[in-house]
Chains A and B, each alone.
Chain A
Amino acid sequence: METTIKATNLTKSFGDFTAVDKLNFEVEKGEIFGFLGANGAGKTTAMKMLIGISKPTAGDAMVANYKVSTQADLVKKNIGYMSQKFALYDDLNIKENIQFFGGIYGLNAKTLQQKYQQVVENLGLENYVKQLVKNLPLGLKQKLAFSVALLHQPKVVFLDEPTGGVDPITRRQFWELIYEAADRGTTIFVTTHYMDEAEYCDRISMMVDGKIKALDTPKALKKEFGAETLNEVFLNLAR
């Protein structure tokens, strides 16, 4: 199997405080990798290094075959990112957002038009094409943001709590989109606080105080900790 993310002793310290302490893990092509941890465990800091906006203080990581420490620009070209904060432009419509976010990755006008039609069709957005994105319901906005993050066919997509504040039905639909993308070979790296979502992942890692305390499939983790649910596993570890 092809490896798309490989962290080697990935570390970030701020002065005396080590936010991320020697992370080692690999994520394979097309895998859905859940990145779990309590607030303040260092998830966001680790993710910032993986997406190339923060330099590791020690160690390194390969993302889409590029080093985050020295080749951040190339990493950025080959990944997609969607944060918990809705990050499309509210005052542009769907097409304009696609033209902007696709265009900056170098997609040409023809491709953008195709992608736009695809997205509208896939998400059933026909009734919203004339409206500004701010008028879309939250669930649709999140799905749109995910589709926009995939426009340039990145090797890896990083999702930072993508379903915050979204109802369970929409969350379910959102995960269907994630599965589709993974089936096409896109690696998914997702952080979440919802344990039902964690169950959907191929493998999950649990971070506590800057370190990865557990990493395996949901099934294996539950077995290892003798727990009924991932929730119990999480509480066990984070305490």
Chain B
Amino acid sequence: MKTVYIIIRKEFKQIFRNKAMIPIIFVLPLLQLVILSNAATYEVKDIQIGYVDYDHSISSRKLIENIKGSSYFENPIYYESAAQAEEAILKDKIELVIEIPQDFEKNIIQANYPKVAVRVNAIDGASAGVQNVYIQQIISNFNKHIRLESYNPAQQSLNYSSIESVTSFWYNQNLNYKTLMVPGILVLIITMLTLFLSSMNIVREKEIGTLEQINVTPIKKWQFIVGKLFPFWVIGLMLLSIGLLIAKLIFNTPMLGSNMLIYAYTSLYLLLILGMGLLISNFTDTQQQAMFIAWFFVVIFILMSGLFTPIESMPIWAQNFTQLNPVAYFVEMMRMIMLKGSTFQDTGVIFMKTFIYALVMNFLAVWSYQKKN
């Protein structure tokens, strides 16, 4: 045990001696947390919209007024023709255009299926869908109005019963995206930092030749591994603490679950990530190689973690893959514990899976370490 302590002491000295590393480890990630949590949102607001009005009637103006009144859209920009509006879309000045044809009002009064055309730039399908929903809402409200204001008795008799759904949003009543993003981004930061640092740190000893020296000393392999990885386990937990503090103080993220449970899970999770870091370092000879390989995995893990796109809507093979994605577990876990207040019983399966995963990963890492050195 004394040997492990001596190695750990040396590691901490080296890590904290490097003046440039302290901000890299503690300040940059937390800046990322603050910036990304504020910026990464799926909310679609302040949409640039254009309109073409061939009708110039009271009804058409009223419809445009309704759009103006919506908080989702900027003030609609008027275009004289559909061709001009199309050009504006090409130039990225507007995202969608609503075109009101001639005889719009006449058709309303005559109950002759009045129509408007909505053209949406659908390069980003998700936000195009949302924009379409917003505009449909406005149009359907507008519809209700005409029905009420209409003097056409034939239409008034169409007083069918309609179903109204009453929705209540659980766990995140205000649909606040920051609430969703903060725990997730904290996960990313902890994962990236500990994976990069641990994989590069061991390779560094190879690069400068001290690993050869270490191999000739009585230090046993397990002592070296534990001594090398323990500091990053501590740093991971420190990052978690600072991150949770920021989540509470700056974002007022709800923390319904037990903090103990979060720490318990993170401790386990870090073992998995550090094992992965060791594995990467075993198969690389330079810090550069280690960095690129770690980066390769991190990008895949992050983009398939369910943080930015829901796992449920991924193709089946990708959903199966997320079973091997540690970040997906951590994101799910953090959201469950922090936002839903899930307990150990609720999260037992993920705990178990992570535990087995960590065991396998560390076994592979230690095994390959012994083979390679």
Residues of chain A touching chain B, judged by Cβ–Cβ distance below 8 Å, are: 51-53, 73, 76-77, 79, 81, 83, 85-92, 96, 99-101, 103-106, 132
Contact of A91 (CB < 8 Å), options: B6, B17, B218, B220: B17
Q: Are A89 and B2 in contact (CB under 8 A)?
A: no
User: Among B73-81, B139-147, B209-217, B238-246, which stretch is in contact with chain A?
Assistant: B209-217
Given A96-B10, A103-B6, A104-B6, A73:B213 Cβ within 8 A: no
Q: Are A87 and B213 in contact (CB under 8 A)?
A: yes
20 contacts between A and B (CB under 8 A): A53-B215, A73-B218, A73-B220, A76-B218, A81-B216, A83-B212, A86-B209, A89-B14, A91-B14, A91-B17, A91-B18, A92-B17, A100-B10, A103-B2, A103-B3, A104-B3, A104-B6, A104-B7, A104-B218, A106-B2
Contact of B216 (CB < 8 Å), options: A76, A88, A92: A76
| B223 to A, closest residue via Cβ | A104
Question: Distance in Å from the Cβ of B218 to the closest Cβ of chain A?
Answer: 5
Contacts of A106 in B (CB 8 A): 2
Asked if B371 is an interface residue, CB under 8 A from chain A, the answer is: no
Question: How distant is the Cα of A99 from the Cα of B217 in the complex, in angstroms?
Answer: 14
Q: Are B14 and A100 in contact (CB under 8 A)?
A: no
Given A83-B212, A85-B212, A104-B7, A92:B217 Cβ within 8 A: no
Q: Are A87 and B215 in contact (CB under 8 A)?
A: no
Question: Distance in Å from the Cβ of A157 to the closest Cβ of chain B?
Answer: 11
Contact of B213 (CB < 8 Å), options: A81, A91, A99, A132: A81
Asked if B352 is an interface residue, CB under 8 A from chain A, the answer is: no
Given A53-B216, A76-B216, A76-B217, A85:B7 Cβ within 8 A: no
Question: How distant is the Cα of A85 from the Cα of B7 in the complex, in angstroms?
Answer: 21
Contacts of A96 in B (CB 8 A): 10, 13
Most buried by A among B13, B14, B208, B217: B217
Contact of A89 (CB < 8 Å), options: B9, B10, B18, B217: B10
Question: How distant is the Cα of A90 from the Cα of B287 in the complex, in angstroms?
Answer: 17
Question: How distant is the Cα of A104 from the Cα of B13 in the complex, in angstroms?
Answer: 16
Contacts of A105 in B (CB 8 A): 217-218
Q: Are A100 and B212 in contact (CB under 8 A)?
A: no
Question: How distant is the Cα of A100 from the Cα of B214 in the complex, in angstroms?
Answer: 11
Q: Are B213 and A83 in contact (CB under 8 A)?
A: yes
Question: How distant is the Cα of A132 from the Cα of B14 in the complex, in angstroms?
Answer: 11
Asked if B219 is an interface residue, CB under 8 A from chain A, the answer is: yes
| A96 to B, closest residue via Cβ | B13
Q: Are A87 and B219 in contact (CB under 8 A)?
A: no
Question: Distance in Å from the Cβ of A132 to the closest Cβ of chain B?
Answer: 8
Question: How distant is the Cα of A77 from the Cα of B220 in the complex, in angstroms?
Answer: 11
Question: How distant is the Cα of A106 from the Cα of B5 in the complex, in angstroms?
Answer: 12
Contacts of A53 in B (CB 8 A): 215-216
Q: Are B209 and A85 in contact (CB under 8 A)?
A: yes
Q: Are B6 and A52 in contact (CB under 8 A)?
A: no
Contacts of B210 in A (CB 8 A): 87-89
| A148 to B, closest residue via Cβ | B213
Given A89-B14, A91-B17, A104:B217 Cβ within 8 A: yes
Given A92-B10, A92-B13, A101:B217 Cβ within 8 A: yes
Q: Are B212 and A87 in contact (CB under 8 A)?
A: yes
Given A76-B218, A101-B217, A106-B2, A87:B17 Cβ within 8 A: no
Question: How distant is the Cα of A96 from the Cα of B7 in the complex, in angstroms?
Answer: 11
Question: Distance in Å from the Cβ of B14 to the closest Cβ of chain A?
Answer: 5
Q: Are B216 and A79 in contact (CB under 8 A)?
A: yes
Contacts of B10 in A (CB 8 A): 89, 92, 96, 100
Question: Distance in Å from the Cβ of B106 to the closest Cβ of chain A?
Answer: 83
Question: How distant is the Cα of A79 from the Cα of B218 in the complex, in angstroms?
Answer: 10
Contacts of B213 in A (CB 8 A): 81, 83, 87
Question: Distance in Å from the Cβ of A152 to the closest Cβ of chain B?
Answer: 9
Contacts of B2 in A (CB 8 A): 103, 106
Question: How distant is the Cα of A106 from the Cα of B215 in the complex, in angstroms?
Answer: 16
Given contacts A73-B218, A105-B217, 17 further A-B contacts (CB under 8 A): A51-B216, A76-B217, A81-B216, A83-B213, A85-B209, A85-B212, A86-B209, A87-B210, A87-B213, A89-B10, A90-B208, A91-B14, A92-B14, A99-B6, A104-B6, A104-B217, A104-B218
Chain B, range 196-215, C-beta contacts under 8 Å to A: 208-210, 212-213, 215
| A80 to B, closest residue via Cβ | B216
Question: How distant is the Cα of A89 from the Cα of B306 in the complex, in angstroms?
Answer: 42
| A160 to B, closest residue via Cβ | B212
Question: Distance in Å from the Cβ of A133 to the closest Cβ of chain B?
Answer: 11
Question: How distant is the Cα of A107 from the Cα of B316 in the complex, in angstroms?
Answer: 59
Q: Are B219 and A104 in contact (CB under 8 A)?
A: yes
Contacts of B13 in A (CB 8 A): 92, 96
Contacts of B215 in A (CB 8 A): 53
Contact of B218 (CB < 8 Å), options: A77, A83, A89, A100: A77
Question: How distant is the Cα of A177 from the Cα of B209 in the complex, in angstroms?
Answer: 24
